[in-house]
Amino acid sequence: MAGRFDAVAEVRVEVRPPWPFRLAGGSMDGLLRRRGAALQRLLRIDGEPVLVGMVQPARDRVVYAARGPSEADCAAALATAREIARAAGLDPEVYVGIDVASDVPFSDDESLTVVFQRGRPRRPAEVSFVLERLRNERLTRVRVIFAPELRDAMREALIH
């Protein structure tokens, strides 16, 4: 199964904040989500989905990334988020970011078996259409991360 973002562009930016800090959790409205060590968000640029996010590999390093149909869409999402932060008086190097999170949530190995009362044991992909489609599929999310006080302006600017 080909994913929506298989043939896409990706833009990454690594910054060093002026002081060490720790990424907060996701937003209360669920639009910004924490996935492991990363924060992520789906945006729309001219109607096209762009996944943006941020991860903090060290206290003094933050990696922002955007993944979408084109490099221009990714760069536009990041630029818009930075402009909004700057207009709100926040340093965009600290308060805006992009991250890419990737995982294979279901690899159909021998570790899982479905056992019915009658019949032979089967692998999960044999009994579930959804798991069959997800088997060994890499899921990738790109997220834009920004300060909560920028949420309304970001929503207005990026989500159509």
Instruction: Output the domain CATH number for residue 59.
Output: 3.30.310
Q: What is the DSSP letter of 31?
A: S
- Is residue 92 within 8 A of residue 81, CB to CB? The reply is yes
Any domain includes 98: yes
Query: Which residues have CB under 8 Å from 28's CB, separation 6+?
Result: none
**pLDDT score for 8:** 63
pLDDT at 5: 46
pLDDT at 30: 64
97: in domain:
yes
Contact 77, 52 (CB under 8 A): yes
Q: Determine, yes or no, domain membership for 114.
A: no
Number of domains in the chain: 1
| pTM across the whole model | 0.40
Strand partners, 65: 12, 53
On whether residue 99 sits in a domain, the answer given is: yes
pLDDT of residue 26: 66
Q: 38 is in which domain, residue-wise?
A: 9-109+139-152
How far apart CA 63 and CA 83 sit, in angstroms, is 18
Task: Establish if 41 belongs to a structural domain.
Answer: yes
Residue 4 lies in a domain: no
In a domain, 31, yes or no: yes
Q: Are 153 and 108 in contact (CB under 8 A)?
A: no
Strand partners, 96: 146
Please count the other Cβ atoms lying within 10 Å of the Cβ belonging to residue 119: 8
> Cβ(131)–Cβ(83) under 8 Å?
no
Strands (E), 16-152: 33-35, 38-45, 48-58, 61-68, 96-103, 139-146
Assess if residue 128 is contained within a domain: no
Q: Which helix (H) or strand (E) holds 124?
A: helix 124-127
Average confidence (pLDDT) per 10 residues, the chain, 160 residues: 52 74 67 78 76 81 77 76 81 77 77 84 82 77 75 73
